[in-house]
Amino acid sequence: MLFRSAKPDHAATELLRSLGLRKGDVSAAGLRALRQLSAERDALEQRLIEARALADRDALAPVLNRRAFLRELHRTMSEVERYKTPAAVLYIDLDGFKALNDGYGHAAGDAVLAHVGRLLLDSVRESDVVGRLGGDEFGVILNRAGAEEARAKAASLNEKINASPILHAGVIHRARASFGVHTIAVSEDPETAIARADEAMYAEKYARRSQAAQFSGF
């Protein structure tokens, strides 16, 4: 018995059309089987999307891992080169993180990493990207942001980190961070961009320590 329907079935029509078939080509049983296969395919595609998202996520913080961050940085660089739009990458290093781990244990360190990751993610635009580059180091891709805007954003994020303590196991911890800002150049590769942002971060950290030493009389 061939499939016939008194009422229009738009979902069935679209399914058959995607297979190059017409309603009269498929029996009712065949159409039910096709619908089931289509539903299973959609469910599998959804699981694949979820699996990719999990593979991209950092193990501790709710941000991208380094591999996924580099992929997004490469994509941003392609847009910079193609459309000549500005973009910048921030390199963030948490100050005194080793002492925190040594003094309070890795669970406290993990809690601080997760806290900083959430804070960064909540403080940037949807078009921006946040990732953990390893250890206590994070990266932020600021799309369509020039040097001045990137420096202002780095200062704002630094203030938020400094002003946002975290309570873990009855102890209040305050994260401190150093930021490096690098404006992405045309034809630059992701690793080079991250390295230059890292260099800028260490230069900022060194300048701050030198200034503190001068004020303390050393």
H or E element, residue 16: helix 10-18
How many Cα atoms occupy the beta-carbon half-sphere of 176 within 13 Å? Answer: 8
Residue 122: active-site member: no
Among residues 58, 93, 128, 136, which one is catalytic?
136
Q: Are 64 and 72 in contact (CB under 8 A)?
A: yes
Q: From the CB of residue 186, how many other CB atoms can be counted at a distance below 10 Å?
A: 9
For 147-191, give the DSSP string. Answer: HHHHHHHHHHHHHHHHT--EEETTEEE--EEEEEEEEPPTT--HH
Instruction: Report CA Rg, the chain.
Output: 25
Q: Are 143 and 76 in contact (CB under 8 A)?
A: yes
Q: Are 150 and 90 in contact (CB under 8 A)?
A: yes
Active site residues: 136
